[in-house]
Amino acid sequence: MGVVYVPSKHALNDDDAWQVVKDAGAGMLVIDTPNGLASVYVPVVVSEDRRTMWSHLAKANPWWQGVGSDTDVLALFLVASAYVSPTYYPSRLENPGVVPTWNYVAAEVRGRLTLHEDPDWKLNQVRGVTSQFERGREPEWRVDDMDPTYREQQLKAIVGIEIDVLSIEGKAKMSQNRPEIDQRSVQGHLAEGSLSEQNVALRMNPPQ
């Protein structure tokens, strides 16, 4: 697999890239199988040292059957995405050489996969993922509140996923290549648009 193209002005440091993963909560896992590329979209939990990610998927999903003893995985995370029209650039009135583009914030993690069928491993994983996303809710739903028989049935229906993290790269393409007047205009236009566009506007940080 190749490496994502990240110009220096768009590159995120590792802390910010991992924040993208946290903000996204779930990502697209892509693997190469004998039958071609295969993907699955799953929530993830990241270890404190950021060396490992954990997840699970339905056993009925054939994706996991493409995982071998040394399978590489590309995990893709996207937290902001919006079209940018050239009409948002005031500078075009003096310099008309402009084209449409796309603003986005994303991260990709590369790693190696291990599958888990052990019931205790899977139980700890679903505890971790539900605790992560239930935290702060009232009431907070807990795996241990489930009927034990039903919980056991559900655990039998999933496959655990462990990813040994090899690298992470983050990218924030947010009009940094445009003059300050254009950056502010793009942010203003997107702030008045759809929820997706507003999300991009909130993440833009034009020069002060």
Give residue 153's pLDDT.
97
Give residue 1's pLDDT.
46
Identity (one letter) of the amino acid at 163?
Answer: I
Give residue 9's pLDDT.
87
Give the number of other CB atoms < 10 A from CB of residue 173: 20
- Residues (pLDDT < 50) of the chain are 1-2
Q: Residue 40 corresponds to which tokens in the numbers above?
A: 């699955």
8-200 has which fold? Pnp Oxidase; Chain A (2.30.110)
Distance CA 3, CA 108 (A): 9
* 5 and 17 Cβ atoms separated by less than 8 Å: no
* 174 and 110 Cβ atoms separated by less than 8 Å: no
Give domain limits for the chain: 8-200
pTM of this structure: 0.93
Secondary structure of 142-166 in the HEC alphabet?
A: CHHHCCHHHHHHHHHCEEEEEEEEE
Is 194 exposed, middle or buried, given 0-12, 13-18 or 19+ CB atoms closer than 10 A? Answer: exposed
pLDDT digits (tens, 9 = 90+) for 136-155: 999 999 999 999 999 999 99
